Amino acid sequence: MVRFLAGKGVQYALVLLFAVTLNFMLPRMMPGSPLVFLAGEDVGFLSEAQRTELLRSLGLDQPLWRQYVQYLGNLATGNLGYSFQKGRPISEIIVERLPWTLLLVGLALLAATLIGVVWGTLVAWRRGSAFDLGSLGISMFFESTPSFWLGMIFIAVFAARLRWFPIFGAQTPGVSLAGWAMVANTAWHLALPLATLTLITIPGNFLIMRYSMLTVLGEQYIATAKAKGLAERTVIYRHAMRNALLPMATVVMLNLGFIASGATVIETVFSYPGVGRLLYEAVLNRDYPVIQATFFILTVSVIAANVLADLLYPLIDPRVRHAR
């Protein structure tokens, strides 16, 4: 067991180092300099010395290997660095953005998983029925719908036309609210982005659950359970669904890894102040440290989710435990 864990530890450490190196290299390989995004067109009017000074203030005048060593050193001490664009510590910016992303993506994952599981289960039970075929059609539709388009349609219909929900933002701008009014206002703003993200996340879960359920329903113990004369509900939920949930556990773990990276497209369409939009803006602005930091957090959370899955899987699937 100890050897197993140590082996895994080394493996993850290597993955982390590789990912961190990639995080460092990728933004710098993109064409375009961060300078213009700091200076705009006027950068053309700066003298060579002034340009160098601006670059120095960002640490970009250093050779690449030195920037890399410094970056690793900073990471080791938990320092994510400063944003080129905003001049602020990145940890501070992320702390502002992360709660919004966790709220949006977390709730969407939860809702999409629950709905996907229940829906997939029910549909598999009635395989071949109109309900099954209709469900497959609907899920294929949402699976293939671009999220920005769905978001735009929701804005046009539910916000602009029907006025049920606000068009943008996480809270009504410029109004100070507290207590329940604040919670209500936040929920009201959350509704559309949450609905969009949930709708496009459901089909993946639904399809996996349906397929897994179909496999389980073919097993002999289900026939046995039916033959025993158990109620339909009991067969579905107790005998079939529980076992069909195993592949879902893996999917949920994988999804969990991406929770902190936010939903870039949806956060952008709805002007939601999450980590995904931060990343999008950082890429546009060539804000290297912010790109690095958001990818770093993503890397760490994906690895953490994998570790968690490795540790939890034996607990939920006895076969893995015995096989070892």
Partner 1 sequence: MRTVAILAMILIAVLATIPAAGLAQTGAVRIAIRRDEGSLNPYTYQSGYPGWNIMTLVYDPLFYPDANNEPIPWLVRDVKVSTDGRTWTLTLHPNVRWHDGRPLTSEDVKFTFEYVQKVTHSRWTPTTRNLDGIEAPNPQTVVFRLKAPDAGFRLRTLADVPILPKHIWESVTTVAAARAFNNTVGSGPFRVEEVRAGQFYRLSAYPQYFAGPVKVRELVLPIVRDATVSFTAVQAGEVDLSERPLNPELVAQFERQPGIKVVRGPGFASTLLQFNLEHPLLRDLRLRRAIANAVNTNLMVKLLTLGYAVVGSPGYIHPASPFYASGLKFEASKAKAVAILNEAGYRDRNNDGVRETPEGTPLRFTLLAQAENPLRIRGAELVRTWLKDIGIAIDVRVADDASVIDLVWPDFDVCKGRRFDLSMFGWSAPVMTRPTALVDLFHSSCQIGTINIGGYKNAQIDRLGEQLVVTVDSNRQKQIAAQMQKIVAEDLPVHVLYYQDVIMAYRAAAHDKWVFQKGQGVLTKLSFVDPPKR
Query: Within a 10 A sphere around the Cβ of 179, how many other Cβ atoms?
Result: 7
- 97 vs 239, which CB is nearer to partner 1? 97
CB of 255 to partner 1, least distance (A): 24
- 53 vs 219, which CB is nearer to partner 1? 53
- 47 vs 144, which CB is nearer to partner 1? 47
Within 13 Å and on the Cβ side, how many CA atoms surround 302? 15
CB of 32 to partner 1, least distance (A): 2
Phi, psi of 89 (to 5 degrees): -60, 135
Of 72, 16, 24, 29, which Cα lies nearest the Cα of 289?
Answer: 24
Phi, psi of 79 (to 5 degrees): -95, 115
Given the rule CB under 8 A, which residues bind partner 1?
30-33, 35-36, 38-48, 50-51, 53-54, 57, 82, 85-88, 93, 96-97, 152, 155-156, 159-160, 163-164, 166-175, 177, 181, 184-185, 187-189, 191, 268-271, 273, 277-278, 281, 286
- 42 vs 232, which CB is nearer to partner 1? 42
H or E element that contains 199: helix 179-217
CB of 6 to partner 1, least distance (A): 42
The DSSP output letter for 319 is H
- 44 vs 218, which CB is nearer to partner 1? 44
- Give, in order, the Cα–Cα distances in Å from 221 to each of 211, 216, 246: 18, 9, 17
CB of 15 to partner 1, least distance (A): 30
- 5 vs 183, which CB is nearer to partner 1? 183
CB of 215 to partner 1, least distance (A): 28
CB of 113 to partner 1, least distance (A): 17
